[in-house]
Amino acid sequence: MHPFPLISQSPSSFVVKKKMVGLFRLVSGCPGPSGFGSASTAQEVTEGIDGTNLTALVTGGASGIGLETSRVLALRGVHVIIGARNMKAANEAKNKIVRENPRARIDVLELDLCSTNSIRSFADNFIALHLPLNILINNAGIMFCPFQLSQDGLEVQFATNHIGHFLLTNLLLDTMKNTVKATGIQGRVVNLSSIAHNYCYKKGIRFHKINDKQGYSEKRAYGQSKLANILHANELSRRLQEEGVNITVNSVHPGLIMTPLFRHSAAVMKLLKFFSFFLWKNVPQGAATTCYVALHPRLNGVTGKYFADCNEMRPSSYARNESLARELWEFSNKLISSVSVP
């Protein structure tokens, strides 16, 4: 007999228990199954990893956790391409990394994820360099913006955070596949999502009201775009597995970090941070999960998963909905076809 009476748990109580464990780890910094946790830094989770035979592309790599991700990947020997809208800031970021690490291999290319024309030009320019592409980190994003439309006439958060990365990934996928074939090294795509994917519109994605100002919520629109990041990763993972392609695709929540993302709501977020200081990370900690998923050998073959604090987590039911992921894929392709000419 078991020495203690067994108490059956309902699925809901089990989920609540897991969430409480996750919250305890977040607050305490206690490592999870991976050996890392919320207090781990990007340098710590990549310690001892040799990336000298790898090339990575980091969107939004000129500031915030994108800059730290670029710095740490370069520190591990990875050739890093920074895609950024602000070329002055991108070159300053490059110079900063090289001053610290003279052997760093860093290049910068102009990329405006709010414009399909810019994305296509960026992809053409990258391909013209004849570089391999082992790692694609879809890091750039905007947050809590007042309602506005992109250059292509799309709601700007959905356009930048999802559609831009969806198109960029599709345009560079053949390069990644060719790199895998030529080198035998597994490719990795990492989408930066957010715990905010839980706070989205009813039914997840407003497919028929993407550009509708009526009913627009800057926070739910952000949550919608972050949900789309996970759905995109999951569907791309499924498709690549069906093809038998050795490229993994995962999504990550970096944590709460005060970065330029909060420029549209800085006062509110500073107030929130004051009352929830124990939940916030610094930038080196914020880049840890991205670097872990992009570089750590422990994740060889791991695909279609969602990570937070360097450990696999269970995302929302919408994020796990395979039919919603397929619908978003088709919707995204049609949307891109309607706003841009190849």
Q: What is the DSSP string of 53-70?
A: T-EEEEETTTSHHHHHHH
Phi, psi (rounded to 5 degrees) for 10: -75, 155
Any catalytic annotation for residue 216? yes
* Catalytically annotated residue among 199, 216, 222, 306: 216
CA distance linking residue 329 with residue 317, whole number of Å: 18
CA distance linking residue 339 with residue 342, whole number of Å: 10
**CB 245, CB 224: distance < 8 Å:** no
| Tokens read off for 117 | 């024309």
For 216-254, give one letter per residue: b (16+ CB within 10 A) or e: beeebbbbbbbbbbbbbbbbbbbebeeeebbbbbbbbbb
- The β-bridge relationship of strands 79-84 and 247-253 is unpaired
Q: List active site positions.
A: 216
